[in-house]
Amino acid sequence: MEKGDVFPAFRLRDKDGMEFDSSMLEGIRYVIYFYPRDGTAGCLKEAVEFSAAYPKFMMRNIPIIGVSKDSVESHKRFHEKNGLKIALLSDPEHDLIERAGAWGLKKFMGKESMGTIRSTFIVGKDGRVEAAWKGVKVDGHVEKVLETALSLVKNER
């Protein structure tokens, strides 16, 4: 996914096992980010920072959605243990992760494997990608996303 692409429609389960259908987001700008695994250091830091910034995003009606291939049960534990405020969706077959271009070859400690590439997208009210970050480094990332989101809101006035 690149800026200007139509973000794919999706239906995934949230941390409570409820179906989350992207059609509920029609006409709403939102942030959707893809991360490798619940509970790992980088993923925890990213989720906690997005949760801390959540009120600033929601003041502009911009929900934040995290997606990984972890199970609904894993998301529930991760969410509750860390007091997260963001929505977490389970994509165990990594269908949306792949369609969003957030799945690919990764290297870790000299080993190569296929997995989720940390990526974030701001999707506009028209369903098109307004901003995209791939291969995200967690430090300072949430601030960049918030700054970009606020700029987009300001420019539409």
- CATH number for position 149: 3.40.30.10
Domain of 138, in residue numbers: 11-155
Positions marked catalytic? 43
Assess whether pLDDT exceeds 80 at residue 77: yes
Note whether residue 109 is domain-resident. yes
User: Are 96 and 7 within 8 A, CB to CB?
Assistant: no
Q: What is the pLDDT of residue 155?
A: 83
Residue 2 lies in a domain: no
pLDDT at 56 over 80: yes
| Residue 3 belongs to some domain of the structure | no
The three-state DSSP-derived secondary structure of 39-79 is CCHHHHHHHHHHHHHHHHHHCCCCCEEEEECCCHHHHHHHH
Q: What is the pLDDT of residue 157?
A: 66
Q: Is 104 contained in some domain?
A: yes
Contact 132, 1 (CB under 8 A): yes
* Domain count within the chain: 1
> In a 10 Å sphere around its CB, with 0-12 CB exposed, 13-18 middle and 19+ buried, how is residue 10 labelled?
buried
- Provide the pLDDT for residue 104: 93
